[in-house]
Amino acid sequence: MIFFRSAEEMAPSVYVAECTGFPALSPLFHDAKLPASALRANLARSHRISMTPREVEKIKIHFQPREAREQVAHSMPPEKVEIFKSLEVWAEKNILIHLKPVEKSWQPQDFLPDSSSEGFIEQVIELRERSQELPDDYLVCLVGDMITEEALPTYQTMLNTFDGVRDESGASPTSWATWIRMWTAEENRHGDLLHQYLYLCGRVDMRQIEKTIQYLIGFGMHPGIENSPYLGFLYTSFQERATFISHANTAKFAKGYGDLKLAQICGTIAADEKRHETAYTKIVEKLFEIDPDTTMIAFEDMMRKKVTMPAHLMYDGQDGNLFDHFSSVAQRLGVYTAGDYADILEFLIKRWNVKKIGGLSSKGRKAQDYVCKLASRIRKLDERAQERAKQGGTCAFSWIFNKEVLL
């Protein structure tokens, strides 16, 4: 740590330069003899008070999401908040049971070489040898899944925007707040485990991956939830099912490539996602029971917007269409496809018995009709996506040292 004798000697220019990307002055140590007048002159230069418009835009672009959508907030009527407050006891008995005690939970270290053991180097060598059989397109999918998991701060932030269920204090004892924190804690292990595996395997450019994670967390996400837990829990029900499918497929492929340990890793993560899916779908099932009309209309709203993937603002500093390219590889390889999207919709419709829900308003019945007919339309999109995949385009991914991969 560097200690300074006065505020003048702290050289904030270094800090400003690091933040803006402009050249920094040399740090001023405690025994520096720089006159105050010279220091002020240097500080003025380093702050670049008279920046050009082009320089200002260069700075701003690094802090702006790469996609703009209309922002709608707090669309749920205030009286609906009481519904979620009334479900506190129900959530405690029916949702918190899907959490696992920490002492009974797996940890990333259970699947990785033990750095404290004498055989650590040999274990790492074995891991790296197994990973040599993994194709580049598979690695792109695995990295994309890991980056999605690593953006967890964004997902906890999103859950805490839901009116009526958010964690108001950061350590609220309510059932909803407890679920949000403990769900986050369980999910946190997923990114940690995949991150460490990919680091050890030596097949990927970790710096580019880490940049992508930083960009993604900084850009956030915009799934169109409008602070509404109706929309929010429909979204999480869909997404947990989607991540279960994606991780289950990466497990299947890893086994086929001969990396049984990686297959175990991905399969274990998939099992967590399945358990979380069960919790979220139970919440929506309850909402259909006590407020079917609002829930049905929210279901239609969510599907009309399309269920945006959590990492849709993914960026690595190079590829402005990185998420689309990653999704195309996942579609071609069969890790996650438009067909899976349709399957999830049909699964949820059956899970919630949507076709048989009665007592709806005219608007609710129209919403029901739209949702129940949507899967067949999505199937047609899947057919088109498969045709596009046959066209044989390629893309260079910075995550794998700019190697070309078929889209």
Q: Which residues contact 42 (CB under 8 A, 6 or more apart)?
A: 13, 25, 34
CA 267 vs CA 189, 191, 197, 204: distances in Å: 14, 14, 14, 21
Q: Is 104 exposed, middle or buried (0-12, 13-18, 19+ CB in 10 A)?
A: exposed
Which pair of structure tokens corresponds to residue 118? 């004498």
User: 195, 276, 312, 325: which is the annotated catalytic residue?
Assistant: 276
User: 154, 243, 295, 308: which is the annotated catalytic residue?
Assistant: 243
Active site residue 272: yes
User: 272, 300, 316, 343: which is the annotated catalytic residue?
Assistant: 272
Half-sphere exposure for 397 (CA within 13 Å, toward CB)? 30
Q: Which residues contact 350 (CB under 8 A, 6 or more apart)?
A: none
Active site residue 149: yes
User: 47, 92, 106, 210: which is the annotated catalytic residue?
Assistant: 106
Radius of gyration for the chain, computed over Cα atoms and rounded to the nearest angstrom: 25
What is the C-alpha end-to-end distance of the chain, expressed in Å? 49
Q: Which amino acid is at 52?
A: T
Active site residue 190: yes
Half-sphere exposure for 125 (CA within 13 Å, toward CB)? 4
User: 187, 192, 316, 319: which is the annotated catalytic residue?
Assistant: 187
User: 240, 259, 293, 340: which is the annotated catalytic residue?
Assistant: 240
Active site residue 276: yes
Active site residue 92: no
Which pair of structure tokens corresponds to residue 113? 């070489």
User: 167, 190, 250, 337: which is the annotated catalytic residue?
Assistant: 190
Residue 224, number of CB atoms within 10 A of its CB = 19
Residue 286, number of CB atoms within 10 A of its CB = 18
Active site residue 106: yes
| Strand (E) or helix (H) holding 405 | strand 403-406
User: 137, 145, 149, 192: which is the annotated catalytic residue?
Assistant: 149
Name the H helices within 118-205. Answer: 120-131, 136-150, 152-159, 175-201
User: 137, 150, 186, 273: which is the annotated catalytic residue?
Assistant: 273
Catalytic positions are: 106, 149, 187, 190, 240, 243, 272-273, 276
